């Protein structure tokens, strides 16, 4: 059973299949936008939808390492880069939807909105921090930085997740909707707790 599971993770079709799965939410949102399927406020649906999926994929990226250790499947690590880059793509689309559909691509208005509304500033800050991670997600960048510096840089993903969660909570606070942010927060607490426990165990040896 273990051999079969490992071979399935290493199958040449595994990555293309995963990419299709990761892009399905975007395809659904795009289809809805062109076929009046996003409700009475399609712009808000696109902004919220792309933002939600950015967070989900960021959480999934952080979950790959604990998951592969939990189920003893090291081959899962080969998917982390793809999920991370797809997360950045969703973040860019989320930012574009906000800048275009909400602000009409007026750069001066966007700058004022970022400065005026803290939750927008947090979201934009999270996106800015994602940029160097995406830019160094390739083999040449890893070689240029060195493995240790690359690993340190990419641990910024945990800080990004906290900022993204703050962005989400602050955005929902206006409507007193805390149920979904609480779920995201609980999952992130588990992921961060696992990381701290792992570090503590290693420091003892």
Counting every residue written for the chain, the total comes to: 205
Give the pLDDT confidence of 138-157 residue by residue, as tens digits. Answer: 888 888 888 888 888 888 99
Buried b or exposed e, range 174-191, using 16+ CB within 10 angstroms:
eeeeeeebeebbebbeeb
pLDDT of residue 5: 46
CA 81 – CA 86 distance, rounded (Å): 8
Confidence of residue 205 (pLDDT cuts 50, 70, 90): low
6 vs 64, which has greater pLDDT?
Answer: 64
Stretch 168-181: mean pLDDT, rounded? Answer: 82
pLDDT of residue 139: 86
* Nearest alpha carbon to residue 195 among 22, 97, 81, 61: 61
Secondary structure letter of residue 38 according to DSSP: S
pTM for the structure as a whole:
0.91
Confidence of residue 2 (pLDDT cuts 50, 70, 90): very low
- Tell me how many domains the chain contains: 1
CA 50 – CA 101 distance, rounded (Å): 13
User: Does 188 score more than 90 pLDDT?
Assistant: yes
* Nearest alpha carbon to residue 118 among 43, 82, 168: 168
CA 68 – CA 156 distance, rounded (Å): 20
**Continuous segment of H or E residues that includes residue 9:** helix 2-9
Beta strand segments in 140-205, E: none
Give the pLDDT confidence of 15-47 residue by residue, as tens digits. Answer: 999 999 999 999 999 999 999 999 999 999 999
Confidence of residue 7 (pLDDT cuts 50, 70, 90): low
Rg of the Cα atoms in the chain: 18
**Continuous segment of H or E residues that includes residue 136:** none
7 vs 76, which has greater pLDDT?
Answer: 76
Confidence of residue 178 (pLDDT cuts 50, 70, 90): confident
Domain span at residue 85 reads 2-203
């Amino acid at each position: 059973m273990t051999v079969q599971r490992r071979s399935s993770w290493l199958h040449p079709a595994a990555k293309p299949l995963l990419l299709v799965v990761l892009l399905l939410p975007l395809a659904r949102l795009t289809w809805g936008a062109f076929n009046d399927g996003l409700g009475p406020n399609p712009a808000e649906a696109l902004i919220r939808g792309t933002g939600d999926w950015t967070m989900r994929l960021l959480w999934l990226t952080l979950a790959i390492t604990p998951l592969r250790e939990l189920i003893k499947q090291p081959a899962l690590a080969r998917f982390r880069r793809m999920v991370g880059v797809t997360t950045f793509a969703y973040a860019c689309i989320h930012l574009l939807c906000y800048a275009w559909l909400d602000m009409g691509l007026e750069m001066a208005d966007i700058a004022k909105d970022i400065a005026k509304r803290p939750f927008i500033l947090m979201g934009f800050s999270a996106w800015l921090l994602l940029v160097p991670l995406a830019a160094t997600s390739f083999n040449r960048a890893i070689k240029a930085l060195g493995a240790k510096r690359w690993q340190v840089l990419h641990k910024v993903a945990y800080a990004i997740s906290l900022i993204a969660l703050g962005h989400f909570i602050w955005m929902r606070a206006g409507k007193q909707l805390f149920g979904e942010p609480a779920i995201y927060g609980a999952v992130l607490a588990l992921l961060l707790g696992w990381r701290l426990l792992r570090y503590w165990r290693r420091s003892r040896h």
